[in-house]
Amino acid sequence: MNKANVYLAPIIRDQMLFKRFTMIKMFLGAVGASMLSSCIVILVSEPTYQTTCNAFIHRNNRIHGIHLLVGGTLIGVGMVVAGSCPGTVFVQMGSGLQNSFITCLGAICGVLFYYAFLFKRLTKDEVPKSSIALRQLPELTGIKRIYLNFMFGSIFIGTAFVLEHFVPYKSDLVTPKGLHSLVGWSPVLCGIGIGSLQLFFMMLFKKSLGISTGFTVLVAQLCRMRFFKKLIPSLEPFAYGVQNSLALLFALGAIGGSFISTVSANQFPLSEQYGAGVWSSFFGGFLLSLGARCAGGCTSGQGISGVTHLLIGSLIATAGMFGGGMLFAAGYGFITKDWLFRAL
């Protein structure tokens, strides 16, 4: 993600206005590779895939369709405001990007707000199994999952390469005033690399790829103290367990990998021109994590893994993310005439 430059605020914001296509190429490559990875898992051990998929659905069985849409929209708005995504916050921190730690602080506050005031109200009732949010494309179409995943995975990767042909990634590289352009790798290939991690997550841990839970697990460590455990008991389940530890390690790995990548390119710490302002960072981070908790995942959890599992609810959340981001970016630019987001 670091080498593809998808963690830079201008790349993320300009994607919402279709001025750059780096982010969508990487996303399509990641989803496509994730879908093809699931095909391999099904062929090698279908019970392993089914266990992983069922666990993902179980974690989402209290998230209603409206929450998926609203949560996804909040993520989209937060992406524009903070110039980041829930997962890229960790990558920005590793690069030494100024104000990325403020984005992280905002995200932590978003988690605390959700579990202190919204969690019980929004998740008190299970979603009916007949709800469209829990339906899957295989049961709606009558086509086997492996065929759908292979077809859509191939289409997504193919579309990413077509975009790359017409809009080469080198033409999307960011060159702030007074600075040299960052060296970038193909976002399609980087996306395929990220999506391929799904194979290892499923086979080794029977877990779906996702990173925004890392914020929740981090905050949940406060529940090891009796005061916080009584204050926000709903966070306690995230304080312990192998699955939660993996989520935190994945986030820490993103920070470490980004740090190594940035240092090796002699770009550490990354210039503030690649990020957002102080208040935009904090408020955007708050929206990102709040939206991710409401929707039960972020661009990786719902956008990559949920879409890989062919869940209609994940498609709703993903549509909210990109649709909300595009509408907010267009509305902000139209009202303020600040199409370069300099005020943010």
The answer on pLDDT for 181 being more than 70 is: no
Q: What is the pTM of this model?
A: 0.95
pLDDT of residue 291: 97
Model confidence pLDDT, tens digit, residues 287-342: 999 999 999 999 999 999 999 999 999 999 999 999 999 999 999 999 999 998 98
Taking residue 314's Cβ as centre, other Cβ atoms within 10 Å add up to: 27
